[in-house]
Amino acid sequence: MPNAALRAALLLAPFLPILAGAGSLVAQDSPPAYLQIFREEVRPGRAGPHVAAEAGWPRAFARAKIPNFYIAMTTTYGPAEAWFVEGHASVAEIAEVNKAIDAAPGLNGELDRLAQADAANIFATRVVLGRYLPDLSNGVAIDVAQMRVWEVLIFKVRPGHEPDFEEAAKLYRSTVEQAKIDAPWATYAVLAGMPGPTFFVFVPHRTLEEIDPATGVGAAMEKAFTVEAMKRLGTLAQGYESVEDLVFTVSPQMSYLSDEFVARDPKFWTRKPAVAKGRPAAATQ
């Protein structure tokens, strides 16, 4: 990915294929058509209890045999948040999952109890629906089961300036393709759940070290962009209200995944939450 200086100059960095909620994952995963993202703001000092409380949700869904598989992650850089990301083929599929949850005997009552128990750990929640934009992405398939860190860029675009973001994303993609840089990304347009027009861009990494702009893909990116391209991207960036760059670490303890997905890296995905002893663990986000 481009280094911080380049990203600041461009105010655009659509990045990598998506944190797929594991509905139909195979060894190489492509971005799902829709993402349903549950965002929770975690209270200071409640990170440990939050993980322990959230571990109850996958158990409840598994007992009811609800296939709403999702990957959980918590912020390493950014506001203290936990995101739970589900991938779906269509909005109709989301509706079917919701119907299955409502129809499962006793499940809603159990989910209510879990939510009440978790209320002490969080400030607020938000649910966001996003639609995949393949033309603004570099959707090379990746093995999501091997990704441990996700970078998420949130672009809030001024109304009427969506074409500026689209042109910038396509220019970014063409530069990457011409330079033959292995840097896929997935861009999602927010359909509901927060003010728009807003775009989420997801970047997977195997390790935190990969976000270092001075090495690897970051260094290659910086060399690839010409002065003319940077100037054009800087002009297009005037159509953005803001750009936020968050870095997340995957939480296997809070994730809910299919057996097939877990089998791709069972040692990592079957890790259990630590049991809190004495006072609650301090927040680590």
Domains of the chain (ranges; CATH) run 4-263 (3.30.70.100)
What per-residue confidence (pLDDT) applies to 185?
Answer: 86
Residue 95: what residue type? A
215 within 8 A of 127, measured Cβ to Cβ: no
**277: Cβ–Cβ under 8 A, 6 or more apart, which residues?**
none
| CA 73 to chain CA mean position, Å | 8
Residue 125: what residue type? T
What is the model's pTM? 0.84
Rounded average pLDDT per 10-residue block, the chain, 285 residues: 34 33 52 96 95 95 96 97 97 97 96 95 96 90 91 96 95 87 88 96 90 82 87 93 96 96 94 50 39
What per-residue confidence (pLDDT) applies to 183?
Answer: 80
Helix and strand element counts for the chain (H, E): 10, 8
